[in-house]
A and B are shown apart, each in its own frame.
Chain A
């Protein structure tokens, strides 16, 4: 709203501030006989011949974005002030790093004189500018010292480019599509209007010559007029215009690129036929040769079980003695030249997690990475108004982008991530969950690790663990398991250079290769594990990095069962997908990787076998039933005995080992009770297995934020 205040007859020649005077173009000043002379907060005082000049006030408001207070001055005095103000050539309102003609000091003085920032803010920003090479204005915006609108106003003045507000703007899709999405996204610009041969292009900063030539390549003979708009509003507009395309990519990219790798179909006809024939064969053999068939089944299961166990034991035992993870030292991080750091995209899928948005923002801001080089995509489902509102209410700086994923099936995390990936600006992309607490220097470590890695390394997986490990017995077990998995098994796989089924978060990708692979499979409920296998099949490699992200361990049994059943179902899905054509997979991966894949991902099926073997053992112990004894002849008996007495303990002990390696000494006692935990895993495995037939794409949502009471009980903050 424009305001008019009491008349002020202060002389315009007193304490002149050229930066404020030239917030409005000379033509406007002369047309309306006005000149700004003072800015207090958001209130711009403007000298005018009359306080009733509402038209002038409205124009000035639109141009500057500030509230306007008109003060009456003599026309001559105003004309004289205009003449003086615009007689000194262009003003240097904004200093770019490395621009010889700009001096940071003047920029700082200017911003301070506008009252937008303090001198101290400017000093800090200059320090960061010298460290990161980012633009001063962007640094101040990212740190929340000035708003995007302020920045645009300043840019507008500097480059004499008209600015435009896109709030509520309804884009003309035909005009917007004059520039292809790829170019629009890369340059962060979008055509918003057309007048004959003139196209008005909304840009977040004036384009350089190269960028102009790129735009010209697409627009041909059309003349381009740039209009400055905030980055957020351009992003928002891009999302609106390309929503359908993004959605199409998110849902169908893999399906179109390599349908044989999509879990869109759980099992192919050939697979169904094969499994049915096997089942039929077993039934027929069971009828004809009951005992022999059962011995064969028990024998095969025992050998398979033993092979999986021995392989995992080998991996973990090797990992105990070696450091296979890429080690990035503190010194290397310290010596990193931040000016060379690339833009890093962080995808954060959110669903009904309004309560932890604040925590998330704090966590991301805690990362030791230049904010101006962060591209944080907060991915929300369209129906999740609560979370969307919570994010909007925070008024986040522009390195946070709210991305609203349109409502469509399947409604899964990978689809949301794919949607976010379409707009990713970073050279590298990482996924974090909302409650994640990565090591502050994890992104820098990943950049260094990529620079050290061999060229085929496409993904670097950080370690995962839990911050609420001591909440209850379930979280203790869960933490022990994670410690073993991420501190021993995955590094062991890395050491063997075999496929690593990725964890749910903290996997860092080279963005271009991720797109090239078709990104995540939206139909696979463990899309991360599947992607790890697809990377290997494509000849790429995943390595581990010695950096940790702490997550929230599931502390409630029903919630844990839901989560675990999804994971196990996803592993089964992944195994089925890549075993559609085992020979092709074998050819793609090589024998070593193929065996490892079948033992690690295919090894999930042992959770289904556990209850059967436990049942047989218990029944035999109670009844000494000879039939059960007869099912375990000779070597089958020894394999089963070795698993029962040695294998079980070894796996318990590896949980203990993982906890100790991680420094969670408090967990060693509970780790000794993990056989009970395996019971829960088998429960979840059967649930997932049944769901594979009944509801294969259903995403069992994990509820987060269940550690609140625990944290409160500890008197801390989560």
Chain B
């Protein structure tokens, strides 16, 4: 199929519209623009959906933020990983000196950077409401992206809201969208990228390629796994353009246009890793390596992983079991590239955590949260299937809504007892009982709560005033630092780098007045140097305040560590 636009007696004939099945409007070719483009250069305003988008965004943010503030501050359903990220954001702004390196390399950088605006006011960070607000904002972005995608899938307005609501009520979604989890950040950005690719596919407008490229690049530094979907999108773009007769230059240029931001962020992050950590691929290594390797044959481990996968899939997104085969059928029967691509995206979402667990080989398992991206992509896939229906989009949407509601109920049930999880069971208990989870044990056997950290932070706020006077290993005492709201009081490993910190740890007397130690010596480097002080039993380093998890000891001016302490 071709389009022609007649002007001045000459016919400009496109070699082909990229998407003969799905293109919503004819490609408009301009004079003085390359005449054989298969994509449309024209940005067309297709009606204003600003109000609808703002409504969806505002309601989502308001609801999740409100629920999140209740969960985090009243129910104490908050993960230490979230506290660590928030503390890094706080340190990046308020440490003495303020350093961007506080962001560190333990997490994808954007998962920390997005928290920095919310940490401008340290009290906001200390109160922890920055966490639910941040995740609610990204949930809002995800809601807009999904709503836009549903619109592209021709699902009528009320049913769009129905689908959105059914997904938003899923307990997994509520948990991740309201408690400051890093999952929601990269999943929302990944969904925005997928939505842009779908828009490009149905409109052939180049601007969506650009938006998709930017979105995937940002998603890539929020969650490294997003890069896999970026790669899949690049392949899709190339294949679709080739199939529809685009010039080689157009195929290359479009793929470069899409991929360049993604490549840039990878390159930049790799350079940072090389310069600061000495290993350019450190970020990949940290993502796929575990603490200790366990023995066992590969087939056994594979079997375990597949079992995990099956359980997670059932517990989080049973709809996937129906949607993926239908997408694959659509790909073959209708030559529908987008259906095939979405199926591959969903399968990739399933395969990635499985591969990571297999590669790590440290006895870890696929967690419930790994099913979250699968769930979101499955909804996108289901909507695409609805779009392909000649009629009855409303009925199709109703089926999806029913499926999502059933899935939500089943997930709520499974969250209570599925063994490989974070705070899912605590969330269920908090919601069903309305009781604080402080001190409770999760289904995975972890203790919930930050009472110990709050107490220590409170003491420090009341009694310590000098900047840099508390030497501490921030990788273990981050929660105390965060809850104190005054990272400048601490001499941490970020302030002047590890070298200066270890030197101060060996001779704390002239450098600091206190040591803040974890009671556990497993990971705290300072506790490893001063193990007796960590148990509050050192006669020289006298404890001035202790909690269940931490000890604050004072350092005499003339303190000289023992030989064992210097070389633990």
Contacts and interface: CB of A to CB of B under 8 A. Distances in A.
Contacts of A656: 210, 256-257, 260
A323 B41 contact: no
Given A320-B207, A660-B209, A669-B256, A653 B43 contact: no
Contacts, number: 105
B380 interface: no
Nearest to B211: A320
B32 A649 contact: no
Given A641-B100, A649-B264, A657-B210, A320 B6 contact: no
B193 interface: no
Contacts of B504: none
Contact of A330 (B6, B98, B213, B250): B6
B257 A368 contact: no
Given A547-B31, A665-B249, A665-B250, 6 more contacts: A322-B43, A441-B7, A653-B260, A663-B34, A665-B257, A672-B260
Contact of A440 (B8, B214, B252, B254): B8
A330 B7 contact: yes
Interface residues of A, number: 40
Question: Taking chain A's interface residues, is the majority helix, strand, or loop, or is none over half, making it mixed?
Answer: helix
B8 A368 contact: yes
A440 B8 CA distance: 7
- Kindly name the residue among B44, B264, B268 whose own CB sees the greatest number of chain A CB atoms within 10 A: B264
Interface string A327-370: 00010010000000000000000000000000000000000100
B303 interface: no
A660 B33 contact: no
A667 to B, nearest CB: 8
Contact of A663 (B5, B6, B41, B209): B41
A660 B206 contact: yes
Contacts of B268: 645
B33 A321 contact: no
Contacts of A440: 7-8, 31
A666 interface: yes
B30 A660 contact: no
Contacts of A60: none
Contacts of B97: 633-634
Contact of A323 (B7, B45, B214): B45
A439 interface: yes
Contacts of B261: 649, 653
Interface in B308-339: none
Nearest to B44: A323
Nearest to B35: A663
B42 interface: yes
Given A320-B207, A330-B7, A548-B31, A660 B260 contact: no
A663 B8 contact: no
A242 interface: no
B129 interface: no
The 5 closest A-B pairs by CB, nearest first: A665-B253, A663-B34, A548-B32, A668-B253, A663-B33
A659 interface: yes
Interface in B210-226: 210-211, 213-214
B207 A661 contact: yes
A634 B98 contact: yes
B60 to A, nearest CB: 21
Given A441-B8, A645-B268, A649-B261, A665 B254 contact: yes
Interface residues of B, number: 38
Nearest to B247: A665
B187 interface: no
Contacts of B118: none
Contact of B32 (A439, A665, A669): A439
20 contacts: A320-B210, A321-B207, A322-B43, A322-B45, A323-B43, A330-B6, A440-B7, A440-B31, A546-B30, A548-B32, A550-B32, A633-B97, A656-B256, A659-B253, A660-B209, A665-B257, A668-B256, A668-B257, A669-B252, A672-B260
A600 interface: no
A274 interface: no
B146 interface: no
Interface string B247-283: 1011011101100110010001000000000000000
Nearest to A442: B31
Contacts of A662: 33, 41
A104 B338 CA distance: 63
A448 to B, nearest CB: 14
Interface in B174-211: 206-207, 209-211
Given A440-B8, A657-B257, A665 B210 contact: no
Contacts of A634: 93, 97-98
Interface in A651-710: 653, 656-657, 659-669, 672
A552 to B, nearest CB: 14
A465 interface: yes
Contacts of B209: 660
Contacts of A657: 207, 210, 257
A661 B43 contact: yes
Interface in B4-25: 5-8
A665 B252 contact: yes
Nearest to A657: B210
A653 B253 contact: no
A633 B96 CA distance: 11
B37 interface: yes
Contacts of A649: 261, 264
Given A660-B210, A665-B252, A330 B100 contact: no
A437 B30 CA distance: 14
Nearest to B99: A637
A304 to B, nearest CB: 21
A672 B211 CA distance: 17
A323 B42 contact: yes
A122 interface: no
Interface in B485-502: none
Interface string B229-249: 000000000000000000101
Nearest to A621: B275
A315 interface: no
A638 interface: yes
Contacts of B32: 437, 439, 465, 548-550
A656 B5 CA distance: 27
A666 B206 contact: no
A323 B46 CA distance: 10
Contacts of A215: none
Contacts of A320: 43, 207, 210-211
A306 to B, nearest CB: 15
